[in-house]
Amino acid sequence: MYRYDEFDTAFVRDRVAQFSTQVERRLSGALTEDEFKPLRLQNGVYLQLHAYMLRIAIPYGTLSARQLRQLALIGERFDRGYGHFTTRQNLQFNWIQLKDVPEILSLLADVEMHAIQTSGNCIRNVTADQFAGVAADEIEDPRPVAELIRQWSTAHPEFSFLPRKFKIAVTGADDDRAAVAVHDIGLRIVRHPETGETGETGFAVLVGGGLGRTPMVGKWVRDFLPKPHLLAYLEALMRVYNAEGRRDNKYKARVKILVHEIGIEAFRDRVEAEFVQLDPARIQADAEEVARIARYFAPPAYADLADNPSALRRARAANGEFDRWVAQNGFPHKVPGYQAVTLSLKGIGEAPGDITSAGMRLVADLAVRHSQGEIRVTHAQNLVLPDVRQDELFDLWQALAAGGPATANAGLITDIIACPGLDYCALATARSIPIAQALSTRFAAPERQQEIGPLAIKISGCINACGHHHVGHIGILGLEKRGEESYQITLGGDAGNDSAIGEILGPGLGASEVPDAIERLVETYLDQRQPGETFVNTVRRIGVQPFKTAFARELHHDAA
């Protein structure tokens, strides 16, 4: 993974020093609260319901064991012994004190981490496929370009006071696991359309996706952008947005609204008009610099192994639980004899994405022992060990099963995404975590989960949609109605290659009614599906109407 050189180190140290002076100037009154707010946000510091929250950047979801141990230490020393992984591959500490933030930032800098631009109206932490570099379906590793964008966008003089936040995601795989279509900019690494398999790679560029109160799927703004043009093109696009994005209404200030209002053709024309005036070679890092970054992501030295070794086969045959875990949480690795595995932070009845400091240390130790010392964070709020030898999977599972994240539910109905909701968040209108816990408990039986198959439930505690409910196969949005929490259910959303925004099924439900309602949707699916058909594919085939009918029946039943 990327390692800081002297320049990165100096930059992050300078940033910590700068934030210390900003806190001092706020305390002295030199900076007003309004002036201080964007400065603290651009350093990841939020004021939440009960305390300050610090959001730490985990660029493109890549963590070393050393970094994870440092997060464990910070969690113990400055929080309540746990942290929360978010839907943007970041980590949040929810109970910190403002006075401790400079010291925490300094501890982060010690392990080449920071909280820069994890909030605020700027270019946020860049996200990527959690299986980058190891996925069998990958055209090219997206991490070098994600790192290049991270550096280019850091403390950008022109783009640090944008109309609104700006999120960029990159994927290099056929199967989009980075949800690029629901980002302000989505980059897909593709082969040149004319030269095909042998040709150069570049980027297909999506713009104007996003969730929030106006969910939209991104639109293609460039089919093929040559790699050396990337930063100049991003600069052109950001410049058009910075100049023309709406500033009269914060709810209409994202780039998706600009694209929607002027149309993708006009938007494209403006970006191209700006782009032709730029000199890409001046803006882009030179080839040696790009190569320098890429070298950090070179594959480790893999052993010469065969797939599905006898040790693995025997262990799977002898232990049903282990077998289920490998089948469910394993992910195909491009190198024979290896596997990537998801460590689920969705234990039954637990808060999605939460992990204790002890858990972080266990995962860090296991990453060193079994996965080249590297951990990934997924946008589904889980962790991944990317480089596990298949003949070591059983050892790993046993170590995890002794109190670590070993639940075999990756991608299943209990692998629920949920934002922190009204338990923590100052913006929330309803709680998310207890709904996730209730559903997880309701569908706890492993056999039942297997029978239902892949199903993504995503829960947001307000319209800002941090829980990505719009793109959940089943989405749950918590609202406040006449002083009560009310949950709106959507169906048929998708965050992957077939990106779609879910459709609202009917009136909102009380918290206690949600599990029964979801149960009814699942029953409808099981009743209607064809052999081998997943939940979302059944929804696509038969439409939402049968589910709406089942949903309405539920309401009547309750009323009666």
Partner 1 sequence: MTLLDRHGFRPDSFRRIPAAEMAGHPAVILPGAELTAGLLVRGLGQWIGIDIANTIPAEEVAQLANQVDLIAIAFPGFADGRGFTLGRRLRRAGFRGILRAVGPLIPDQFAYALACGFDEVELPDAVAARQGEAAWLADLAIYRQSYQRDYARGENILDARRLARGGGAA
3-state secondary structure of 35: helix
Residue 482 and residue 466 in contact, taking contact as beta carbons nearer than 8 Å:
no
Region label for 486, one of left (φ > 0), alpha (ψ between -120 and 50) or beta (otherwise): beta
Q: Show the binding pattern over residues 134-173: x = contacts partner 1 (CB under 8 A), - = does not.
A: -----------------xx-xxxxxxxxx-----------
d(Cα 131, Cα 340) in Å, to the nearest integer? 8
DSSP letter string, 427-486: S-SS-SHHHHHHHHHHT--HHHHHHH-S--EEEESSTT-TT-GGGSSEEEEEEEETTEEE
Interacting residue with partner 1 among 281, 318, 426, 526 (CB under 8 A): 281
Tell the smallest beta-carbon distance from residue 41 to partner 1 (Å): 11
Interacting residue with partner 1 among 22, 89, 92, 407 (CB under 8 A): 22
Single-letter amino acid code for the residue at 146: A
Tell the smallest beta-carbon distance from residue 24 to partner 1 (Å): 10
321 binds partner 1 (CB under 8 A): no
21 binds partner 1 (CB under 8 A): yes
247 binds partner 1 (CB under 8 A): yes
Q: 18 or 441, CB closer to partner 1? A: 18
125 binds partner 1 (CB under 8 A): no
20 binds partner 1 (CB under 8 A): no
283 binds partner 1 (CB under 8 A): yes
119 binds partner 1 (CB under 8 A): no
Residue ranges in 36-55 that form contacts with partner 1 under rule CB under 8 A: 38-39
d(Cα 455, Cα 452) in Å, to the nearest integer? 8
Interacting residue with partner 1 among 223, 261, 286, 307 (CB under 8 A): 286
Q: 31 or 393, CB closer to partner 1? A: 31
CA 384, 385, 391, 395: dihedral to nearest 10 degrees?
A: -90
Q: 188 or 270, CB closer to partner 1? A: 270
30 binds partner 1 (CB under 8 A): yes
Q: Taken in order 302, 126, 203, 289, is the CA torsion positive or negative? A: negative
d(Cα 204, Cα 499) in Å, to the nearest integer? 16
Tell the smallest beta-carbon distance from residue 276 to partner 1 (Å): 12
Interacting residue with partner 1 among 288, 310, 402, 532 (CB under 8 A): 288
Cα dist from 272 to 235, 453, 548, 555, whole Å: 11, 45, 45, 52
Tell the smallest beta-carbon distance from residue 123 to partner 1 (Å): 12
Tell the smallest beta-carbon distance from residue 171 to partner 1 (Å): 23
Q: 241 or 487, CB closer to partner 1? A: 241
d(Cα 560, Cα 554) in Å, to the nearest integer? 10
d(Cα 344, Cα 414) in Å, to the nearest integer? 10
d(Cα 165, Cα 119) in Å, to the nearest integer? 7
248 binds partner 1 (CB under 8 A): no
Q: 13 or 191, CB closer to partner 1? A: 13
Residue 300 and residue 387 in contact, taking contact as beta carbons nearer than 8 Å:
yes
DSSP letter string, 349-404: TSPTTEEEHHHHHHHHHHHHHHSTTEEEE-TTS-EEEEEEEGGGHHHHHHHHHTTS
Applying CB under 8 A, which residues contact partner 1? Answer: 5, 7-8, 10-11, 14-15, 17-18, 21-22, 25, 29-32, 35, 38-39, 121, 151-152, 154-162, 239, 242-243, 247, 273-274, 277, 279, 281-283, 285-286, 288-289, 292
